[in-house]
Amino acid sequence: MLWVKAFHIVAVVAWFAGVFYLPRLFVYHAMSTDQPSIERFKIMERKLYRGIMTPSALVAMALGSWLAVENFGAIFATQYWLHAKLLVVALLVAFHLWCGHTVKVFARDENARGDRFYRIANELPVLLLVAAVVLVVVKPFGF
């Protein structure tokens, strides 16, 4: 089970690396005015989202589900910290999907938002990471 936990953590780290970096690419892309830079950002965003973020997210969720079932299957109903963490994961998945949508918007040259919007969006995953770590380590709502 420790191997599963170790690879779950690796997948979460890889996922968050992408979740932190992709909105930063959106900032730079929104600021770009020359066509070569715009095209370069499209490629970088697509490869990051499809090649790193999404596979890492799928592995993290699969291994996290395995850990939850193995460790908390019979007592899941009493693990309120885990319920809260799953809510944080759902919010992270929603952010991930929004990033995928935004990659497509930029790919079609239809972005209507400025770099300031993406700078703010870039901070949201930090809050999700802090919440997830506190919930897992401190377990404030249960055992």
Mean pLDDT of 131-143: 88
Question: pLDDT tens digits for 63-107?
Answer: 999 998 888 877 878 889 999 999 999 999 999 999 999 999 999
Mean pLDDT of 1-22: 97
For residue 143, pLDDT beyond 70: no
- Calculate the dihedral angle through the C-alpha atoms of 97, 98, 100, 103, rounding to the nearest 10 degrees: 180
Q: Output the pLDDT for position 79.
A: 85
Q: Output the pLDDT for position 54.
A: 98
Lowest mean pLDDT, pick from 53-62, 75-84, 114-123: 75-84
CA distance to 51, 73, 83, 95, per residue, from 142 (Å)? 37, 15, 10, 27
Mean pLDDT of 24-36: 97
Name the band, by pLDDT with cuts 50, 70 and 90, for residue 30: very high
Q: What's the start-to-end Cα distance of the chain, in Å?
A: 20
This prediction's pTM: 0.93
Mean pLDDT of 22-33: 98
